[in-house]
Amino acid sequence: MKRSIISCTDISDLTLRLAADIADTANRRINESGVFSFVLSGGSTPRALYRILAEPPYLDDMPWENIHLFWGDERSVPPDHRHSNYAMAFDAMICRLPLPEDNIHRMHGETEPGDAARAYELDILDFFMDECDLADEIPSFDYILLGIGEDGHTASLFPGAASLDETSRLVMPVEAPSYMPVTQRMTMTLPVIGAAKRVTFMVSGDGKREIVNAVLHDADAWDRYPAARVTAAEEVSWFTDIDL
Ligand code: 6PG
């Protein structure tokens, strides 16, 4: 597995370079396989990226009819709630995209988390049914976008959580720490993240310099920070405007 760090000058440079990476990867994968499965991150950092993807040239140049959107995690709130990861992506991007409804695979935060997680797992398996032998393979998303919190969490995988040790479920309900907005959530697990061809962290702001350096360099990072446990089938990339 390759690991790359793309150092950007500021959030604008970061957003433009990451949008180009996503578009290039999408076009290449669609030429190869006819489809691009793209897992969106929540939080606030990706908002600027999502806006760029819904504007020219990407709005016109990306084959959106062949792109399927998924989420890496969701808070247990309705899809129009101010803390919904779906709502953030919808307002910033999806509302302007020529995306068929069937290409939007939303986690149902309005449903009981255990039921919603299982339903989402079935949605993933159904999507990949034709692509892989689900009996012995974990579905491999083309591109998973992640953020990182200052505690080293990613998606809704938090330090010390039992979810970090999950080896079979693709999606599971979790309880986030009380310092997070909305504690009831659901998240993709490390096995399905690690099966993805590309995993990219989008990180912005000096406030995250310490945690990113710790995740990348500390000897005990794997024990302490969920983001340090993230792998990928091909490459883990860090797009950041932090001077590491
Ligand atoms: C969530 C996100 C979470 C996020 C980080 C960073 O639902 O909260 O998936 O993992 O990516 O908390 O969030 P910011 O980009 O807002 O700093």
Q: Which residues pair with 49 in a beta bridge?
A: none
Cis peptide before 63 (omega within 30 of 0): no
Coil/strand/helix, residue 39: strand
pLDDT for 137 equals 85
Residue 25 Cβ contacting ligand 1 at under 6 Å: no
What ligand 1 atom has the least distance to the C-alpha of 45? 15
Task: Give nearest CA residue, ligand 1 atom 12.
Answer: 149
Site to substitute for ligand 1 among 14, 15, 41, most atoms within 8 A of C-beta: 41
How long is the chain? 244
Is 60 exposed, middle or buried, given 0-12, 13-18 or 19+ CB atoms closer than 10 A? exposed
Ligand 1 close to Cβ of residue 186 (< 6 A): no
Nearest to 232 by CA among 149, 156, 142: 142
Residue ranges in the chain assigned as alpha helix (H) = 11-33, 47-53, 58-61, 85-92, 113-128, 190-194, 209-217, 221-224
What pairs with residue 70 in β-bridges?
39
Dist. CA 56–CA 171, nearest whole Å: 34
**Through-space distance between the first and last CA atoms of the chain, rounded to whole angstroms:** 21
**Tokens matching residue 155:** 């998606």
Is residue 45 lining ligand 1, measured as CB closer than 6 Å?
Answer: yes
Is 207 a pocket residue for ligand 1 (Cβ < 6 Å)? no
Q: In a mutational test of the pocket of ligand 1, which residue from 49, 73, 238 has the highest number of ligand atoms less than 8 Å from its CB?
A: 73
pLDDT at residue 132, as a whole number: 62
Burial class (CB in 10 A: 0-12, 13-18, 19+), 52: buried
Residue type, 57: P
Give pLDDT, residue 228: 98
- pLDDT digit string (tens) for the chain, length 244 residues: 999 999 999 999 999 999 999 999 999 999 999 999 999 999 999 999 999 999 999 999 999 999 999 999 999 999 999 999 999 999 999 999 999 999 999 999 999 999 999 999 999 999 998 666 666 689 999 999 999 999 999 999 999 999 999 999 999 999 999 999 899 999 999 999 999 999 999 999 999 999 999 999 999 999 999 999 999 999 999 999 999 9
Cα–ligand 1 centroid distance for 182 (angstroms) = 12
The four Cα atoms 226, 231, 236, 241 give a dihedral, to 10 degrees, of 10
- 42 CA to centre of ligand 1 in angstroms: 5
5, 236 contact by CB (below 8 A): no
Task: Determine whether the shortest distance from the Cβ of 76 to ligand 1 is under 6 A.
Answer: no
Tell me the β-bridge partners of 158: none
Q: Is the CB of 67 under 6 A from ligand 1?
A: no
Within 13 Å and on the Cβ side, how many CA atoms surround 220?
3
Query: In this structure, are residues 87 and 96 in contact, taking their beta carbons and an 8 Å threshold?
Result: no
Determine whether the shortest distance from the Cβ of 44 to ligand 1 is under 6 A: yes
- CB of 42 within 6 A of ligand 1: the answer is yes
Position 133 scores a pLDDT of 64
Answer whether 215's CB lies under 8 Å from 221's CB.
yes
Report strand pairing: 73-75 vs 184-188.
antiparallel
DSSP state of 172: E
Point out the ligand 1 atom lying closest to the alpha carbon of residue 146. Answer: 11
Other CB atoms within a 10 A radius of the CB of residue 14 amount to: 23
Q: Which residues of 114-133 are buried (b: 16+ CB within 10 A; e: fewer)?
A: eebbbbbbebbeebbeeeee
Indicate the top mutation candidate among 148, 187, 206 to test ligand 1's pocket, ranked by most ligand atoms within 8 A of CB. Answer: 148
Does ligand 1 come within 6 angstroms of the Cβ of 151?
no
